[in-house]
Amino acid sequence: MDRRAVLRVLATPLAQKLLHSEFVSRLAYVGPDGYPRVVPVGYLWKDERFVVCTASNAPKVNALQSNPRVALTIDTQTQPPHILLVRGIAAVEVVDGVPDEYLEASRRYIPEQQWSDFETQVRGLYDRMARISITAEWAKLIDFETTLPIAVEELVGRRRDR
């Protein structure tokens, strides 16, 4: 999928709603033992990239430096579910202190009355953090109204052809 097609998917109103929602994303990557891992992560959609910040000693940091291929999903708990699926390449940068992107992403998840304590705790905990920037190379939005999973599309097509 070329980059323009990916960005067209990510620019649709439903994708933008998911990208800027309070939902966490699930990040999939390959661990050092070759097995896949899926972890919930807070993220920021910024400059046409996903930014995920984490402890510099988190297992995903070394794994992504060895194999930068990732997948992300953001989905709702409603029926029908709305699902944004993304595959991409991660670049890892270890930075001093707490990246602004981490705080900006966290504002979506932390209640305002808890923000001051949260920020103080975070700044006291992390001397360094890893900033993971993910460039999407493939994206699909599934809303079960206008777009379906591929397997369901095939079944609907077969039924229509009968």
Go through the domains of the chain in sequence order and give each one's CATH number: 3-161 (2.30.110.10)
| Residues 81, 75: Cα–Cα separation, whole Å | 7
What average pLDDT score do residues 97-123 get?
96
Q: Residue 53 has what pLDDT? A: 98
Half-sphere exposure for 80 (CA within 13 Å, toward CB): 11
Tell me the C-alpha distance between 78 and 52, whole Å.
25
Tell me the pTM. 0.91
Phi, psi of 56 (to 5 degrees): -65, -20
Residue 68 has pLDDT above 90, yes or no: yes
User: Model confidence at 78, in pLDDT bands (50, 70, 90)?
Assistant: confident
Give the integer Cα–Cα distance in Å for 49 and 31: 22
Q: Model confidence at 136, in pLDDT bands (50, 70, 90)?
A: very high
pLDDT at 142 over 90: yes
First to last CA, the chain: 31
Q: What is the DSSP letter of 150?
A: H
Question: Looking at residue 152, what is its pLDDT?
Answer: 84
| Res 102: pLDDT | 97
User: Taking 80 as the threshold, does the pLDDT of residue 128 lie above it?
Assistant: yes
Sorted by sequence, the CB contacts under 8 Å of residue 157 that are 6+ apart come out as none
pLDDT in tens, 18-34: 999 998 899 999 999 99
